[in-house]
A and B are shown apart, each in its own frame.
Chain A
Amino acid sequence: MSAAIRQHAVRGLMRARPMTISRIHTTAAVSQVGTTHAPDRVHGSYHWDVERAASAALVPLMAAQLAVGANPVTDVLLGVVLPVHLHIGFDACITDYYPKHKSPVMNRLMTYTLTTATAGILIGCFQFNMHDVGITEFIARSWTA
């Protein structure tokens, strides 16, 4: 019985379709059972480290924003750390709702869209900090307008 369930689960994994369509009783070979991807620190623990480092760095950055106000160092740092934090956050959502094994096309499409958008906001933040008043001053002015 468990072999049939395993076969069925593998069927669901092998074909990126909902499991409602797959058959239960099959006799096909189950060559993919028990396999896993190669361990990879970059997408594993290092990713976790970068995620927490970016989140933690935002705390003193925002404190500096409140304490000092507009400052080119704060703004430039914020213009890098904030897009990184946003990218990692949205990437986690993509991984959760469009996993590669279930919806490979949507996953790739959304990842490319996100990467392009993150590149765009990195450029946008840089331009804003260089040619406009800077992120902190913008928030201060528009909040107290």
Chain B
Amino acid sequence: MFATRAVNSIVAQNVARTALFKNASAVPTGIRAFRATPSTMEQSPDAESELLRQQRLVRPKSPHLTIYQPQLTWLMSGFHRITGCAVGAGFYVGALSYLALPALGYNFDTSAIVASVASLPVVAKVGIKTTVAFPFVFHCLNGVRHLIWDTGRFLTVDGVYKTGYAVLGSSAAITLYLASL
């Protein structure tokens, strides 16, 4: 209400400039009508809580992945955790399978695994090696980056980005080398 009055008074003081509006002669109608102060309703505490609860259900929630601008910092941090969990889960499954599968009747020692890997087509071998190597190499190099940060070095935006690109580049190079072995 007060904002509308203020806008009206400003336009009244600057009639010449309100030629920008469609109906400059009629000041109130030349301004797109808006309710500056929407009407409020008194609510009971329970109703207020219920309204807030409903608002919370549709509010964007942490970690706000849909609205947070992609940045090298958090993308690499998330990828560090994802690769760590992926390679770790693989190691856990492999080591536990080594213990469990013989009890279930399957042969799971080195010679059996090497034989089954050797029987794969070359395309599959290179593909699997790339898929396994890249998360591992990235996690190792980014881990070194974390350890460097723990010494207090490169803890600036510039340092974080430079070391980040260095990790990305070197992990791509080392992955290509490992996949070629």
Instruction: Say if the beta carbon of B144 comes within 8 Å of chain A.
Output: yes
- How many chain B residues touch A (CB < 8 A): the figure is 35
Main secondary structure of the interface of A (DSSP, over half): helix
CB neighbours of A20 from chain B (8 A) = 53, 56-57
Which chain A residues in 92-145 approach chain B with CB under 8 Å? 93, 117, 120-121, 123-125, 127-128, 132-133, 137-138, 141-145
Report Cα–Cα, A23/B56, bound state, in Å. Answer: 13
Known: A120-B96, A124-B95, A144-B181. A132 touches B85 (CB 8 A): no
Q: By the criterion CB–CB under 8 Å, are B147 and A52 in contact?
A: yes
Q: Which of B144, B150, B178 contacts A59 (CB 8 A)?
A: B144
Q: Report yes or no: B88 in contact with A86, Cβ–Cβ below 8 A.
A: yes
B81 at the interface (CB under 8 A from A): yes
Measured between C-beta atoms, what is the minimum distance from B100 to chain A in Å?
9
Contact residues of B: prevailing secondary structure: helix
| B18-26, B33-41, B64-72, B110-118 - interface stretch | B110-118
Q: Determine whether the beta carbon of A124 is less than 8 Å from that of B45.
A: no
- Determine if B74 is an interface residue (Cβ-Cβ < 8 Å): no
Whether A21 and B53, one on each chain, are in contact in the complex, defined by CB atoms closer than 8 angstroms, is yes
B95 touches A125 (CB 8 A): yes
Chain A nearest CB: distance from B171 CB in Å? Answer: 14
List 11 other contacts, CB 8 Å, given A124-B95, A132-B98, A143-B181. Answer: A19-B56, A23-B45, A23-B49, A52-B150, A89-B88, A120-B96, A133-B110, A138-B110, A141-B110, A142-B110, A143-B178
Please tell me if the beta carbons of A24 and B52 are within 8 angstroms of each other in the complex: yes
Q: Does A76 lie at the interface of the complex (its beta carbon under 8 Å from any beta carbon of B)?
A: no
Check B45 against A25 for contact (C-beta < 8 Å): yes
In the complex, are the beta carbons of B99 and A120 less than 8 A apart? Answer: yes
Closest A residue to B51 using CB positions: A24
A64 on the B face (CB < 8 A): no
Cβ A145 vs Cβ B48 within 8 A: no
Cα-based distance from A21 to B49 in the complex (angstroms): 9
Query: Does residue A10 face the partner (Cβ distance < 8 Å to B)?
Result: no
Residues of B within 8 A of A71 (CB): none
User: Chain A: which residue is nearest B52 at the CB level?
Assistant: A24
**Min distance, Cβ A96 to any Cβ of chain B, angstroms:** 9
| A117 and B96 within 8 A (CB) | yes
How many Å from the CB of B87 to the closest CB on chain A? 9
Interface bits B62-102 vs A (CB < 8 Å: 1, else 0): 00000000000000000001001100100110011011000
Q: From residue B62, how far is it (CB to closest CB) to chain A in Å? A: 12
